[in-house]
Chain A
Amino acid sequence: DTGVSQDPRHKITKRGQNVTFRCDPISEHNRLYWYRQTLGQGPEFLTYFQNEAQLEKSRLLSDRFSAERPKGSFSTLEIQRTEQGDSAMYLCASSFDGNTEAFFGQGTRLTVV
């Protein structure tokens, strides 16, 4: 296991379409996080899971966004009815409780046209 893996790396979609991203964390890590980064800004927290439980959601996560981690392993982030303002880099990270800092994946760059 070489690190946090995200798929796809790039996604271009038309406004109004739905998109889904996948994140595979480091295998022994029980916490998984989603962040969003726009140009010139630092990553902004969206949500995080401890195992399969979603523990916190940011107010940035509108009702068009949903995240799941059904078996406490990989996670998916879905955006429904995409808008141009959703264009950003979506970053996933994972960590192990009380033992490690968060390790980030390479991100999925979403462009909504």
Chain B
Amino acid sequence: DQQVKQNSPSLSVQEGRISILNCDYTNSMFDYFLWYKKYPAEGPTFLISISSIKDKNEDGRFTVFLNKSAKHLSLHIVPSQPGDSAVYFCAASPDNFGNEKLTFGTGTRLTIIP
């Protein structure tokens, strides 16, 4: 039972363009959502998060949008840079900051084409 789904295993985007990564969830108890970035042979690195009381959170080139009624969130990266090439995981938690367990999606491999 995949409670957090990332339906695109991979995505290629030209440098300078916008990258949009999508995530869907099924559990209505999720209250906090996070995006992590992972390079090969390293652990996931926290990128940006959003609470369910908001519909948008922005941090530099990264913006996360939450549509609670559709149980959908997306990560926008603009402009995309070669260093953004990595696997991106969406995660969800029933509490603030994800201080209880996180449920992860299967990831989307983003490749930025120079």
**A interface with B by C-beta (< 8 Å):** 4, 6, 31, 33, 35, 40-45, 48, 56, 58, 91, 93, 95, 97-107
**B interface with A by C-beta (< 8 Å):** 4, 6, 34, 36, 41-46, 49, 89, 91, 96-107
User: Are the C-beta atoms of B101 and A101 separated by less than 8 Å?
Assistant: no
User: Are the C-beta atoms of B104 and A43 separated by less than 8 Å?
Assistant: yes
User: Are the C-beta atoms of A102 and B100 separated by less than 8 Å?
Assistant: no
Contacts of B6 in A (CB 8 A): 42
Residue of B nearest to A47 (CB): B101
Report the number of A-B residue pairs with Cβ-Cβ less than 8 Å. Answer: 63
A43 to B6, CA, bound (A): 13
Beyond A98-B97, A99-B97, A101-B97, is A45–B103 a contact (Cβ under 8 Å)?
yes
Cβ contacts A to B, 14 pairs, < 8 Å: A6-B43, A40-B106, A41-B107, A42-B89, A43-B44, A43-B89, A48-B101, A56-B100, A100-B97, A101-B46, A101-B97, A101-B98, A102-B98, A106-B42
User: Are the C-beta atoms of A97 and B99 separated by less than 8 Å?
Assistant: yes
A4 to B49, CA, bound (A): 20
Beyond A98-B96, A104-B44, A106-B41, is A42–B105 a contact (Cβ under 8 Å)?
yes
Contacts of A44 in B (CB 8 A): 104
9 more contacts with CB within 8 A, not counting A35-B102, A42-B89, A42-B105, are: A33-B102, A40-B106, A42-B106, A43-B89, A43-B104, A102-B46, A104-B43, A105-B43, A106-B41
